[in-house]
Structure 1
Amino acid sequence: MTAPGRPLTRRAFVTGACAAGCFAVAGCASGGTEPTQARSGPVRIPVGDVPVGGGVILAADQVVVTQPEPGVFLAFSAVCTHDGCLVSSIRNGRIVCGCHGSSFSVTDGSVVRNPAQQPLPRRTVEVAGDTLTVAAATGPS
């Protein structure tokens, strides 16, 4: 730290820059979740658990289930296509990744906000009565 009116030394500048970089990295790391191995097999969820215009994130299964319109159910991988973090929330019609701020549409998984460049991969979802069944992932998400 320098006193007012004194020039900033190289050492003070480098120390401050390094500290800022550490805080930035820590901030990015705290915003999302690193994915673990997804459970295998189909995922079942009650229809009533998926709000219209939004959705739910099933982190243990690495899947997002959305209902963009009444009775229309879609499923996507919950692994962000930017850096592999799990998406962290669904708000305002967007599936949001807390790691770096990417967001995706609840209607088709397309990128709404970068840095992600690729959409979330689709998963097959079937409705049977009051239960949704999302097929197990067939390959890397």
Structure 2
Amino acid sequence: MTSESLHPAPAPARRTVVAAVGAAGLAVALSACGADDNASDTVGSDNGAAGNAGGTELAKTSDIPEGGGKVFADQGVVVTQPTAGTFKAFSSKCTHMGCAVKGIANGVINCPCHHSEFSATDGSVKRPATSALAAKTITVEGDSIMLA
């Protein structure tokens, strides 16, 4: 028997173990946040998948009520028609706490989480969020609304 087998290597200090666990947890948290951010950047990334040069068809113009709109959750976009024949698009992710907006009524885009409200005309804040909804690019081709 050698003296090494009688004296095992010392265990790492408690401070070292706590620091390692904290660093691993931070790496996991940052990876999760990064993945979520990347997902929101891919809105409309499948442009042309249906063979349309103008992008992905979201809806027909008749699907979007005047003074209202419609949320397209899978694409992360909300399309509004503030006045007859005028169509606007914005990110459906509320700038207040990141929830998805749900409804559009009387010219206002509503978020159910903390009751933030945004203008259906330009995405500007009505209350309590502090940043406007990001504009998205759409085109109207005939009676089709296309996400660019």
Report the TM-score, using the length of structure 2 for normalisation. 0.63
Q: 1:39 to 1:72 in 2, by over 3 A?
A: closer
Distance 1:119 1:43 in 2: 24
2:62 counterpart SS class: helix
Would the aligned equivalents of 1:39 and 1:60 in 2 still touch at CA under 8 Å? no
1:118 paired to 2:131: yes
Distance 2:117 2:56 in 1: 23
Instruction: After superposition, give the CA deviation of every residue in 1:13-61 in whole Å (9 maximum; x if it has no partner).
Output: xxxxxxxxxxxxxxxxxxxxxxxx4563344111110001110001111
Overall identity of the aligned pairs, in % = 48
Q: Which residue of 1 aligns with 2:81?
A: 67
Distance 2:97 2:83 in 1: 29
RMSD (Å), alpha carbons: 2.1
Point out where structure 2 has 5 or more consecutive residues left out of the alignment: 1-38, 47-54
Q: Which residue of 1 aligns with 2:140?
A: 127
Which of 43, 54, 61 does residue 47 from structure 1 map onto?
Answer: 61
Distance 1:83 1:93 in 2: 21
1:122 counterpart SS class: coil
Would the aligned equivalents of 1:66 and 1:75 in 2 still touch at CA under 8 Å? yes
- Once the two structures are TM-superposed, the CA of residue 125 in structure 1 deviates from its matched residue by 1.1
Residue correspondence of structure 1 range 18-29 to structure 2 within 5 A: none
Point out where structure 1 has 5 or more consecutive residues left out of the alignment: 1-36, 136-141
Q: How many residues align?
A: 101
Distance 1:102 1:119 in 2: 11
Q: Which residue of 1 aligns with 2:97?
A: 83
Would the aligned equivalents of 2:109 and 2:117 in 1 still touch at CA under 8 Å? yes
Could you say which structure has the larger radius of gyration?
Answer: 2
Larger helix proportion of the pair? 2
Report the TM-score, using the length of structure 1 for normalisation. 0.66
Runs of at least 4 residues off by over 3 Å: 37-40
